[in-house]
Structure 1
Amino acid sequence: MIISSFNSQDGSWGLMNYQELFTNHYYRNAIGHSLTLSLSASLFSEVIAILGAWSLTKMSSSVKESLVTIFNLASSFAGVPLAFSLIILLGNSGVLHVISKSLDINILGSINVYSWLGIVIAYSFFEIPLGILFLYPTFEEIDQGWKEASDTLGVSNCFFLKKVIYPVLVPGLVETLIILFANAMGTYETVFALTGNNITFISTIIGSLIGGEITSNIPLAGALSVVFGLVMIALVIMGNLLVRTKRITEGK
């Protein structure tokens, strides 16, 4: 893939594909859209997943097992089936729109499943369960005895959260955010089924460059894939540095 990204369709070598990516407004928009959407969806999903994972630790073992099974299934529910389910539910002629018209009540407000907000909602269907599955073990590490010990020592709640809970949660939160971001960046079928080419993303352009009979351009698709890989490598390095710095600071 890397070698192909430095090649052109006529067989010459150079940086022409990368130059095209960062000078062409169409491709720059796609990269910007992918980064913005992935960050928005991953942050929103992680906030909900934090609440879900914390709530999961407060439930009985049998309920936990049942919910973890459901979350496993939900985290895999993506692609075209998810897009069509949302269209049936929230589309212009979907179930909720029909109910809204019959009751003369605007249930959905300004939600448009084919818009940017619709994509974030679609992503949250599989990002939130995935986030809960990754964060749940982290929250399970928190021992109730820690709080009792801090109360015995007269430690304030603020100090307890900052010095005990926060250092335990930070690595899991950072790593989960990176995973959710990568998952959102690489999603193709869901966003394509909802928006087609109306909103450009790295994944949809790579798909069209590989599978298109007229617009097929493997070297350019390779360059886009390399950009995607570099973004993920940079995020992993930044996440590791953040966690390592935090651990060193807390150790001091």
Structure 2
Amino acid sequence: MKLSLKNRFLLLFVLLICIVLIFPIGVMILSSFSSQDGSFGVMNYQELFTNPYYKKAISNSLLLSMTAALVSEIVAVIGAWSLTKISDSAKESLVTVLNLASSFAGVPLAFSLIILLGNSGVINAISKAMHFSLTGSLNLYSWVGLIIAYSFFEIPLGMLFLYPIFEELDNGWKEASETLGASNWFFIKKVIYPILLPGLIETLLILFANAMGTYETAFALTGNKITLISTIIGSLIGGELDSNVPLACALSVVFGLTMVILVILGNLVVKKRTSTER
């Protein structure tokens, strides 16, 4: 049977997805049930959920990622709404800047923040010269510092995802609502909120996943001071003395299942709110 050109490209795409996505995930899941000595079982998962060190890393990653995602999305909502109020030329320039800023992460971002906000950074040097603290008790190498660092690339990313949603809002809807005698609160609750909710939840999930998977920025700022899933996976894979690939695979599976659960919950919330509004 001869395949058409369209079906050939479709088959090629399916093969590509299998090679770069399905096959590696399958190998990772199988490896998570094996030990370094070759035995098969759930020993890695028992280690993750009984060892306080790994339990702390999982809770730290969840808390840090959700906090950074929420803070970034709140700022991104304001920024995306503001983008719709400026001229087209300025809008195009800012979108370009946001694309660049959303990619500025990892070690370069960490070093930039250290130069700016570190103990011997520019702002602290200016503060000492002025005999006045510009940053207060801010510690860049702490939880607050990580949230600030994550926000530098999470906020632009959130604005890029939310901006098209705000751009679709029509000013005529507001005028029609006022003509029919609806209050501002009714208009926001019944018109704006149902439109924005799916995009807000999807953006929050993307920001959460992006924060969970960040490795270089967290490691460059805190090293092993704050244990996270991403830094532990890096040390388990790259460590010469404590290398443990199966345990790293188990941690990766936990991360993947967390995202799957959050996506399912997000979809359920959107469907429930949509059915309620109807």
The TM-score bracket by the shorter chain reads over 0.9
Report the Cα offset of residue 250 of structure 1.
1.5
Find the partner of 2:221 among 163, 185, 194: 194
Q: How many residues align?
A: 251
Find the partner of 1:19 among 21, 36, 46: 46
Cα separation, 2, equivalents of 1:110 and 1:167:
41
Matched, 1:92 2:119: yes
Cα separation, 1, equivalents of 2:269 and 2:52:
33
One-letter amino acid of the counterpart of residue 8, structure 1: S
**2:158 alignment counterpart:** 131
**2:34 alignment counterpart:** 7
**1:208 alignment counterpart:** 235
Q: Residues 21-69 of structure 1: CA distance to partner in whole angstroms, max 9, x if unpaired?
A: 0000000000000000001000000000000000000011001100000
Find the partner of 2:274 among 232, 235, 247: 247
Cα separation, 2, equivalents of 1:242 and 1:72:
30
One-letter amino acid of the counterpart of residue 187, structure 2: F
Paired residues for 1:41-120 under 5 Å: 41-120=68-147
Report the Cα offset of residue 221 of structure 1.
0.2
**2:174 alignment counterpart:** 147
In the superposition, the TM-score normalised over structure 1's length comes to: 0.99
The unaligned stretches of length 5 or more in structure 1 are none
Cα separation, 2, equivalents of 1:29 and 1:157:
45
Report the Cα offset of residue 248 of structure 1.
1.4
One-letter amino acid of the counterpart of residue 134, structure 2: I
Matched, 1:172 2:199: yes
Cα separation, 2, equivalents of 1:36 and 1:162:
29
Cα separation, 2, equivalents of 1:138 and 1:239:
18
**Could you tell me the percent identity over the aligned residues?**
73
Cα separation, 1, equivalents of 2:89 and 2:246:
52
One-letter amino acid of the counterpart of residue 249, structure 2: G
Matched, 1:28 2:55: yes
Cα separation, 1, equivalents of 2:157 and 2:106:
15
Larger Rg: 2
Q: Residues 45-104 of structure 1: CA distance to partner in whole angstroms, max 9, x if unpaired?
A: 000000000000001100110000000000000000000000000111000010000000
Q: Residues 95-139 of structure 1: CA distance to partner in whole angstroms, max 9, x if unpaired?
A: 001000000001000111101100000000000000000000111
Moved over 3 A (4+): none
State the Cα RMSD in Å: 0.5
Cα separation, 2, equivalents of 1:110 and 1:3:
47
Q: Residues 209-248 of structure 1: CA distance to partner in whole angstroms, max 9, x if unpaired?
A: 0000001000000000000000000011011111111111
In the superposition, the TM-score normalised over structure 2's length comes to: 0.90
Secondary structure of 2:123's counterpart equals helix
Secondary structure of 1:245's counterpart equals helix
Cα separation, 2, equivalents of 1:155 and 1:191:
48
Cα separation, 2, equivalents of 1:90 and 1:133:
26
One-letter amino acid of the counterpart of residue 184, structure 1: A
One-letter amino acid of the counterpart of residue 72, structure 2: S
Task: Point out which structure has higher relative CO (alpha carbons under 8 A, 6+ apart).
Answer: 1
One-letter amino acid of the counterpart of residue 85, structure 2: K
Cα separation, 2, equivalents of 1:112 and 1:90:
8
One-letter amino acid of the counterpart of residue 166, structure 1: Y
Find the partner of 2:149 among 97, 100, 122: 122
